[in-house]
């Protein structure tokens, strides 16, 4: 079972405990999309909108939910969760593309303080710097140019890609992955105004990141003013995310790229923040909240559910008109109120009862927006 020899479908079915339909001896050497896959490749259907591609796919085998089993004539591995099985098999194939090197290694250009504790199987690339009293867990990999400050602590099995910087006293759990260029533990943005300008508030806290967190590239997580900036277990964070000082993020929350979270905000567990979201500081976000892309969150959210803000895009010429009208909403509201009053006066003179009736109806409607 290796990259060279590939994997037979029988081997995959046994390893991942799923049902195989078709040729057990068919060998798989790579993963591909339904369109690109040839007879040596495994593919998958995770979204019904690609059902048409399934019919014409040349894949050697396809991961399918049982309800689509009949939609493909070739070899299939049947699973209730095709996307999850795809994830697991992708990790298997990764090892052939990017084999993890075994054993300890220290590049001669790595700078390691004498007081640092380096466990077994740690690999240190060129230009790595490890500070005083830092503790690096077993099997952790620090790629070129990674800087680990004094008194940092990294669990076993972490992987830090090139140029990641951990400021002093940062603490990572086990199996934390951080993509290149991310900066963990930089100064939180805290200043007190004075007559002579801003006076810096020294940031005396640190960053603590839980087990199995996965952090993207060029992301920044600032250390706390006092206490901790804290990420729970299994939090996943994309590229260019900004997490300010004293933020707390609950277990298994996912944060997509370009999102910014202001200081001391507390985000619950299993939330999903899409890209470009912004949150003000000092608010609480409940467990299970989802925020769509570019949502601006200006106060706490107490109920799980999906939230959004922003306006739909339009051709620019039209958008300019909408923008003007938006500013005129107040005037529209006022005109509407006057019209209502005047109409009522007219109706009263006519002795009409219609007005009262329809107003009653409106009151009934107001509870649920129906249109």
Residues 31-60 that bind a second copy (CB under 8 A): 31-33, 36
Check: CB of residue 245 under 8 Å from CB of residue 264: yes
Is 4 among the residues that bind a second copy (CB under 8 A)? no
Is 318 among the residues that bind a second copy (CB under 8 A)? yes
* DSSP conformation letters of 190-204: -EEEETTEEEE----
Q: Is 107 a catalytic residue?
A: no
Is 343 among the residues that bind a second copy (CB under 8 A)? yes
Distances (CA, A) of 142 to 145, 163, 303: 8, 9, 40
Q: Helix (H, G, I), strand (E, B), or coil: what is residue 279?
A: strand
Half-sphere exposure for 138 (CA within 13 Å, toward CB): 1
> Could you say which of 275, 284, 286, 300 contacts a second copy (CB under 8 A)?
275
Q: How far is the CB of 8 from a second copy (least distance, A)?
A: 20
> Could you say which of 93, 156, 283, 286 contacts a second copy (CB under 8 A)?
93
> Among residue numbers 219 through 258, which ones bind a second copy (CB under 8 A)?
220, 222, 225-227, 233-234, 236, 238-240, 242, 244, 251-252, 254, 256-258
Residue with smaller CB distance to a second copy, 137 or 145: 145
Q: How far is the CB of 137 from a second copy (least distance, A)?
A: 19
Residue with smaller CB distance to a second copy, 140 or 265: 265
> Could you say which of 8, 174, 292, 300 contacts a second copy (CB under 8 A)?
292
Q: What is the largest CA-CA distance in the chain?
A: 98
Is 321 among the residues that bind a second copy (CB under 8 A)? yes
Q: How far is the CB of 279 from a second copy (least distance, A)?
A: 9
Is 322 among the residues that bind a second copy (CB under 8 A)? yes
Is 183 among the residues that bind a second copy (CB under 8 A)? yes
Cα angle for residues 45, 51, 52 (degrees, 5° grid): 135
Interhelix angle 329-349/354-366, rounded to 10 degrees, is 140
Short-list 76, 89, 80, 115, CA closest to 31 = 89
Q: Which residues pair with 328 in a beta bridge?
A: none
Sole window of 16-24, 57-65, 68-76, 306-314 interacting with a second copy (rule: CB under 8 A)? 306-314
Phi–psi pair at 228, nearest 5 degrees: -130, 140
Q: Which residues are annotated as catalytic?
A: 245
């Amino acid at each position: 079972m290796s990259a060279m020899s590939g994997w037979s479908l029988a081997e995959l079915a046994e390893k991942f405990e799923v049902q195989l339909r078709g040729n057990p001896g068919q060998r798989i050497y790579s993963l591909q999309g339904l369109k690109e896959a040839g007879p040596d490749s495994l593919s998958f259907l995770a979204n019904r909108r690609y059902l048409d591609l399934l019919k014409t796919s040349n894949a050697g085998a396809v991961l399918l939910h049982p309800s689509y089993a009949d939609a493909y004539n070739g070899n299939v591995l049947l699973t209730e969760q095709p996307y999850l099985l795809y994830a697991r098999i992708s990790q298997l194939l990764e090892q052939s593309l990017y084999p993890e090197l075994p054993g300890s290694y220290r590049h001669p250009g790595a700078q390691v303080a004498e007081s640092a504790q380096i466990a077994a199987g740690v690999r240190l690339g060129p230009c790595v710097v490890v500070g005083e009293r830092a503790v690096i867990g077993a099997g952790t990999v620090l790629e070129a140019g990674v800087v680990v400050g004094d008194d940092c602590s990294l669990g076993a099995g972490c992987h830090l890609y090139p140029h990641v910087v951990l400021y002093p006293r940062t603490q990572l759990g086990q199996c934390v992955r951080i993509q290149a260029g991310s900066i963990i533990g930089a100064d939180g943005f805290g200043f007190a105004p004075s007559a002579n300008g801003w006076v810096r508030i020294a940031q005396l806290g640190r960053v603590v990141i839980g087990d199995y967190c996965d952090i993207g590239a060029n992301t920044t997580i600032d250390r706390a003013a006092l206490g901790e900036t804290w990420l729970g277990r299994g939090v996943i964070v994309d590229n260019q995310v900004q997490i300010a000082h004293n933020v707390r993020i609950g277990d298994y929350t996912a944060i997509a790229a370009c999102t910014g979270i202001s200081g001391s905000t507390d985000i619950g567990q299993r939330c999903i923040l899409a890209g470009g979201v912004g949150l003000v500081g000092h608010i609480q976000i409940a467990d299970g909240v989802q925020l769509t892309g570019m949502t601006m969150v200006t106060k706490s959210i107490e109920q799980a559910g999906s939230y959004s803000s922003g306006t739909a895009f339009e051709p620019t010429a039209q958008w300019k008109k909408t923008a003007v009208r938006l500013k005129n909403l107040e005037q529209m509201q006022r005109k509407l109120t006057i019209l209502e009053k005047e109409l009522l006066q007219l109706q009263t003179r006519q002795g009409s009862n219609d007005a009262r009736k329809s107003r009653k109806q409106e009151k009934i409607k107001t509870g649920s927006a129906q249109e």
